[in-house]
């Protein structure tokens, strides 16, 4: 399959006809791995709407080629929140393999990229990343702090519990406080059962 055919199929992902969209998805999926670089080049282009980008993310996520990790990382800077959210979920699916890239993104100047990285790391839940969540719990943006709560809650070490307690005491976001309390209550319940 040629690069031109793949690019045409990518454009067809926005077609209102479901049959045309399905054919386009099949064409793109069948072009992998030969045209993976073409797909990577196209997905980061600004002119594509979220519908096309999220469809491509889904296709790439199902293939799980590690070369897509950097592309998903770039998409955490996309202007559309649904594209960023889908990219964050895709990165989480790679598990520990994506952690080095996500650790870099957790320090990004863009709070949206930082937040997407922290949320992906929270889904992975590797205890070695607890320091990232402790730092993110102090981020200026509640979106980043919210992700840290879920990371701290999935890890549950004494340091993580202490950070959650601090969030319950001091955070300005009701959402952050509520979820931090929920995780602390869950830990207490688990301790009582032992």
Give tens-digit pLDDT for 61-115: 999 999 999 999 999 999 999 999 999 999 999 999 999 999 999 999 999 999 9
DSSP string, 71-102: HHHHHTT-S-HHHHHHHHHHHHHTGGGGHHHH
Check whether 194 has a pLDDT greater than 90: no
Range 152-174 burial, b when 16+ CB lie within 10 A, else e: bbbbbeeebbebbeebbeebebe
| Alpha-carbon gap, residue 142 to 171, rounded angstroms | 9
Dihedral, 98, 104, 105, 111 alpha carbons, nearest 10:
150
Q: 69, 91 in Cβ contact below 8 A?
A: yes
User: In the structure, how many helices (H) and strands (E) does the chain have?
Assistant: 12, 0
pLDDT of residue 36: 96
Q: Is the pTM of this model over 0.95?
A: no
Q: What is the CA angle 93-110-121, rounded to 5?
A: 25
pLDDT of residue 188: 85
Chain centre distance of CA 156: 21
Check whether 164 has a pLDDT greater than 90: yes
């Amino acid at each position: 399959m040629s690069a031109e055919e793949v690019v045409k199929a990518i454009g067809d992902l926005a077609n209102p006809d479901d049959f045309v969209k399905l054919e386009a998805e099949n064409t793109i999926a069948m072009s992998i791995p030969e045209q993976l670089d073409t797909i990577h080049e196209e997905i980061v282009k600004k002119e594509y709407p979220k519908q096309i980008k999220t469809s491509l993310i889904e296709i790439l996520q199902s293939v799980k080629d590690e070369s897509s990790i950097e592309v998903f990382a770039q998409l955490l800077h996309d202007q559309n929140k649904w594209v960023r959210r889908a990219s964050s979920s895709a990165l989480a699916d790679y598990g520990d393999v994506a952690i080095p890239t996500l650790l870099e993104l957790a320090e990004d100047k863009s709070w949206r990229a930082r937040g997407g990285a922290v949320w992906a790391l929270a889904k992975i839940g590797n205890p070695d990343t607890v320091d990232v969540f402790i730092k993110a719990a102090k981020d200026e943006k509640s979106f980043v702090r919210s992700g840290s709560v879920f990371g701290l809650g999935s890890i549950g070490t004494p340091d993580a519990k202490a950070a959650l307690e601090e969030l319950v005491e001091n955070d300005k976001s009701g959402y952050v406080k509520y979820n931090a309390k929920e995780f602390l209550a869950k830990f207490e319940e688990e301790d009582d059962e032992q």
